[in-house]
Amino acid sequence: QHGSRERCELTGNLHGLHLQCRGQPEPALYNGGILKFGNSDDPDGYRTTETGVFSPAFVVYNLNKTTMYTFSCWVKLEGAYSALITARLAPDNSGARCIATVLARSDCWAFVKGGFVLDSPTQTSVIFFQNADKTPMKITVASGSLQPFTTDQWAMHQQDTIRKRRKRVATIHVADPQGARVVGASVSVQQTTKDFPIGSAIASTILGNQAYQQWFVDRFNAAVFEDELKWYSTEPMSGLLRFDVPDQMLAFVRSHHVMVRGHNIFWENQDATPRWVKNLTSPDDLRSAVNTRIQSLMTRYRGEFAHWDVNNEMLHYNFYEQRLGPNASMEFFSVAQDADPLATLFMNEYNVIETCDDVFSTVDTYVAKLKELRAGGAILEGVGLEGHFSKPNIPLMRAILDKLATLGLPIWFTEIDISNKFDAQTQAAYLEQVLREAYSHPAVSGVMLWTALHPSGCYQMCLTDWGLNNLPAGDVVDRLLNEWRTLQAGGQTDAHGAYSFSGYLGEYILTVSYNNRTTQSTFSLSPGDETRHINVQM
């Protein structure tokens, strides 16, 4: 158990791996885990076989249900220069599922990282590799590793990261005016604001609805407008600019000290492009409309939005790049940066974190596009992951976050929900898994839920009904919001005149009482590994 826990400590910390190709594969993580060569201690742990002409495979026996399996290896191609390679798991000869992807090359070794959880135990499972477009290709695999973790070990690792990254220890020292320690003073601390942004989408339905507004600000410190800033909302016809609704929504969030993301300047999806824009036949007319769009939006709201999703879902769609050329996105970023230099500019994409089955948006594809834009001069400093999940694969989610973390940029979940093909209880259970993994990953800087409320419901998942009565997903969110804050801490100063506590990052009110005297002050717990020391004079 102890050894397993130590290994568990490592899953989220891959010492700066692994977006670069390497000349040689690195040693297997966890010494290969259960993919060890058969010996007397472990006769069944590992076999290698040829499945088809070129594909190496691992055969693994007796995998358990609910166990978290993390998978990794290094791959290299022969023949083709580069290809998208998928690692797939075939349990007991039933359908194969994607457990990891990598953009592999022939001149170096690429790192594969993923994982899976099984719905039911299996006797014999095969992990094999294939070119995503199914053409035969010679794939060499090295340093394979499959490491199991119990759900308890996984949760322990999450709690450990939360303690290190989302909380901090503080010591309050109480002294009298001569500097003598005050022993037995009564200390109480109360958290007033939270450092970590957790928010939700809102729509125009929140305007004038006092109950909804109060419900929102009681819970969230971040917001994003569901549709109200999109081009089809702000300019439904050429030259007809409508900013009255987003202006009012902005006034609401501003009056409650809620940070707000700008979503979005452009959306590459043709179906989400205003009809009049689609009807512009000449590139010059389109370019002029595009420039007017950026300028009107960004000058009006300069400095108001902390983030901008500049060109939404560009891995899946290419309306503007088709018409304005391959550098269109780069130009959008450049103009946006000039118009609002203090906003953080984001890529925003779906199916990067939700699955590895979408060949358009694998983690390596996302990174390649981000690096291409940055190499072209785009000031792109935010990784936006939408998070429209079906059944979440938590080990895969962590593996993808680990890979993205090596970019050193803030990662935001921008639109989290769970598909409404599941019942409300299942949605809530899956939502809790996703939120715990997101909050506990050190590279994640904020979490937004895609739960704007309408009389008719929500996009996929609501937290409450229209009367603001909690649904199961709302119960999960309320429970986690309470868990991730310091409700109240307090006690007596010890023989050294000190009182220590561990608190979630954010702002606090500190009250100290002794001999009928009371003093109150404020302090903040900001990120840091060292104990924060606060001195109070009575």
pLDDT of residue 61: 92
Q: Tokens representing 526?
A: 């900001």
pLDDT band at 55 (very low <50, low <70, confident <90, very high): low
| Residue 45 confidence (pLDDT) above 50 | no
Task: Choose the weakest-confidence range: 127-131, 187-191, 507-511, 520-524.
Answer: 127-131
Nearest to 130 by CA among 152, 112, 149: 112
pLDDT of residue 136: 78
Percentage above 90 pLDDT, the chain: 87
Mean pLDDT of 436-445: 98
Cα gap 292→512, rounded to integer Å: 57
Q: Tokens representing 170?
A: 């503080």
415 included as an active-site residue: yes
Task: Choose the weakest-confidence range: 90-99, 160-169, 515-524.
Answer: 90-99
Mean pLDDT of 467-475: 98
pLDDT of residue 79: 78
**Burial class for 513, CB neighbours closer than 10 Å (0-12, 13-18, 19+):** middle
DSSP state of 28: P
Q: What is the pTM of this model?
A: 0.93
pLDDT in tens, 343-373: 999 999 999 999 999 999 999 999 999 999 9
Mean pLDDT of 461-473: 98
Cα gap 122→109, rounded to integer Å: 31
Residue the block writes with tokens 């070794």: 109
| Residue 76 confidence (pLDDT) above 60 | yes
Q: Is the dihedral of CA 294, 295, 296, 298 positive or negative?
A: positive
Q: Which of 386, 415, 432, 437 is catalytic?
A: 415
pLDDT in tens, 186-211: 999 999 999 999 999 999 999 999 99
Mean pLDDT of 167-190: 97
Compare 527 and 49 and report the one with higher pLDDT.
527
Mean pLDDT of 468-472: 98
Coil/strand/helix, residue 388: strand
Mean pLDDT of the chain, nearest integer: 91
What are 47's strand-pairing partners? 59
Q: Tokens representing 111?
A: 């790192």
Beta strands in 80-137 (DSSP E): 82-91, 97-105, 110-116, 122-131
Contact 12, 402 (CB under 8 A): yes
Mean pLDDT of 501-529: 97
Q: Starting at the edge strand that comes first in sequence, how are the strands of the sheet with 138-149 ordered?
A: 110-116, 68-78, 138-149
Q: Is the dihedral of CA 286, 288, 291, 296 positive or negative?
A: negative
| Residue 56 confidence (pLDDT) above 50 | yes
Mean pLDDT of 153-175: 97
Contact 346, 337 (CB under 8 A): no
pLDDT of residue 18: 56
pLDDT band at 457 (very low <50, low <70, confident <90, very high): very high
| Residue 50 confidence (pLDDT) above 50 | no
Mean pLDDT of 276-293: 95
pLDDT band at 133 (very low <50, low <70, confident <90, very high): confident
**Burial class for 178, CB neighbours closer than 10 Å (0-12, 13-18, 19+):** exposed
pLDDT in tens, 1-21: 233 333 333 343 333 445 688
Cα gap 193→188, rounded to integer Å: 16
| Residue 49 confidence (pLDDT) above 60 | no
Mean pLDDT of 325-329: 93
Coil/strand/helix, residue 473: helix
Mean pLDDT of 44-61: 54
Cα gap 450→96, rounded to integer Å: 31
pLDDT of residue 1: 29
Mean pLDDT of 299-325: 96
Q: Which domains does the chain have, with CATH numbers?
A: 14-156 (2.60.120), 167-191+486-537 (2.60.40.1120), 199-472 (3.20.20.80)
pLDDT of residue 468: 98
Compare 79 and 359 and report the one with higher pLDDT.
359
Mean pLDDT of 114-126: 94
pLDDT of residue 10: 39
